[in-house]
């Protein structure tokens, strides 16, 4: 047992009481709290109590900024000052079928802008970008800093795992929030996301903040508050930041899984793909390029003429993958067909995400493997007319025993209306902030 004889600047219990009673924590108090928690002086149970006090009483703008900076200062900060390129990045709060990073990064990088995209893995119904890309034979997520800089110069973009030294206090606090019912707190969510993005060192950032049934923030007003908080944090920290509020009631695109989402992303880069994926990819690309000093960039042309595809192939090869390799295909499939005719008016994102997870596309624990070929392929989207016997969706898995529980998740998750006169799907992009 190590005895710490150093005199501490504060007592954790005093700070907990202060926040419990709706008090405002000073910069010095927050700096000490995060540092003491990171080095183990403040215990798990004490930080859990503080997280609950923040969850119940919130934080003002200065407190959120101080918490974010304290978490950044707990580790290393990356710098791209010597890169010779303008940097820009994007972060999504996650959803079902959200593979936008895959076509977006090479599209933006094809304009000579550097895109250092640090991404994560999936847990539960929300897929992880790194899991999707690892469906490509040979592709690897872990890059040394020197390799990352080289690829940003030569290719223009990387998609890789964040290093362990990037905002380590956030990793420790996030694990605690997950088991104490304090995840759904705007100050804690905003500081968690933005501490990593600011520490990453990008000059500008576009946020895709989702709302709706398949999103982390279901309520639009709460999602808007989160978006505004993160935009403020970015700008207070010298990172030019904007946000798009986008709908996540229906899965994005037609593919939910890993290998099938890579296939769909390649379709977009080839000038095709589902309309909603194309719409959101183009909208985010225009925002990123505008912040990077190219407000008039013709991103649609870069999809048509093959520039974005060329960058994709160079990116895959640069991280050890084979852009021409066949992607995994599941051993078993099960297709569900329409039993009535009409217009598909509802397709709930969350149940389809859970179904893909149960098929093997996701993981229940961080250490679990994923089955890259597992997932769901949709054959119709809300607004489409279907006839009796038309395929609605296909489940894919390596073990057919997984189909029953996946079908349970989807039961009642879609609706075909015989009369949908005047009904149109709601807009995908609801608002821009910043």
**What are residue 190's phi and psi, to 5 degrees?**
-65, -45
- Pick the catalytic residue: 19, 65, 91, 402? 91
- Pick the catalytic residue: 65, 125, 196, 286? 196
- Pick the catalytic residue: 69, 90, 125, 177? 177
- Pick the catalytic residue: 98, 170, 208, 276? 170
d(C-alpha 390, C-alpha 353), whole Å: 22
Reading phi first (left if > 0) and then psi (alpha if -120 to 50, else beta), residue 422 is in: left
Residue 102 CA to its chain's centroid (Å): 12
d(C-alpha 395, C-alpha 399), whole Å: 11
Torsion of CA 222, 226, 228, 234, to 10 degrees: 180
**165 noted as active-site residue:** no
**172 noted as active-site residue:** no
- Pick the catalytic residue: 74, 92, 185, 192? 192
Show the tokens assigned to 375: 């997932």
52, 180 Cβ separation under 8 angstroms = yes
**192 noted as active-site residue:** yes
Show the tokens assigned to 382: 């809300």
**What are residue 207's phi and psi, to 5 degrees?**
-105, 135
Residues belonging to the active site: 91, 170, 177, 192, 196
């Amino acid at each position: 047992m190590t005895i710490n004889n150093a005199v501490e600047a504060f007592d954790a219990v005093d700070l907990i009481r202060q926040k419990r009673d709706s008090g405002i924590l000073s910069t010095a108090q927050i700096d000490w709290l995060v540092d003491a928690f990171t080095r183990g002086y403040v215990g798990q149970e004490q930080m859990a109590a503080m997280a609950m006090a923040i969850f119940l009483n919130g934080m003002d703008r200065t407190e959120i900024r101080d918490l974010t900076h304290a978490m950044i200062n707990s580790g290393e900060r990356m710098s791209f000052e010597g890169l010779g390129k303008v940097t820009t990045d994007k972060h999504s709060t996650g959803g079902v079928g959200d593979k936008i990073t895959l076509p977006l990064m090479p599209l933006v990088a094809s304009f000579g802008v550097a895109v250092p995209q640090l991404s994560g893995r999936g847990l539960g119904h929300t897929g992880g970008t790194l899991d999707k890309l690892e469906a490509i034979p040979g592709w690897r997520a872990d890059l040394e800093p020197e390799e990352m800089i080289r690829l940003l110069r030569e290719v223009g973009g990387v998609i890789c795992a964040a290093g362990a030294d990037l905002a380590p206090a956030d990793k420790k606090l996030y694990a605690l929030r997950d088991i104490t019912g304090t995840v759904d707190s705007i100050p804690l969510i905003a500081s968690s996301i933005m501490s990593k993005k600011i520490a990453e060192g990008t000059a500008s950032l576009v946020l895709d903040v989702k709302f709706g049934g398949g999103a982390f923030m279901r309520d639009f007003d709460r999602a808007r508050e989160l978006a505004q908080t993160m935009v403020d944090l970015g700008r207070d920290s010298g990172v030019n930041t904007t946000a798009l509020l986008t709908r996540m009631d229906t899965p994005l695109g037609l593919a939910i899984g890993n290998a099938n989402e890579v296939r769909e992303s390649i379709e977009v880069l080839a000038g095709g793909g589902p309309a909603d994926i194309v719409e959101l990819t183009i909208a985010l690309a225009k925002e990123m390029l505008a912040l990077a000093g190219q407000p008039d960039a013709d991103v649609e042309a870069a999809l048509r003429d093959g520039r974005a595809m060329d960058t994709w192939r160079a990116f895959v090869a640069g991280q050890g993958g084979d852009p021409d390799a066949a992607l995994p295909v599941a051993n078993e499939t099960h297709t569900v067909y329409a039993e009535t005719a009409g217009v598909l008016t509802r397709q709930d994102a969350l149940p389809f995400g859970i179904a893909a997870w149960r098929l093997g596309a996701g993981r229940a624990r961080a250490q679990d493997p994923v089955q890259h070929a597992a997932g769901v392929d949709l054959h119709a989207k809300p607004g489409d007319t279907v006839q009796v016997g038309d395929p609605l969706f296909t489940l894919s898995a390596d073990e057919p025993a997984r189909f029953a529980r996946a079908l349970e998740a989807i039961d009642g998750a879609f609706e075909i209306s015989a009369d949908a006169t005047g009904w149109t799907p709601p807009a995908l992009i609801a608002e821009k902030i910043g």
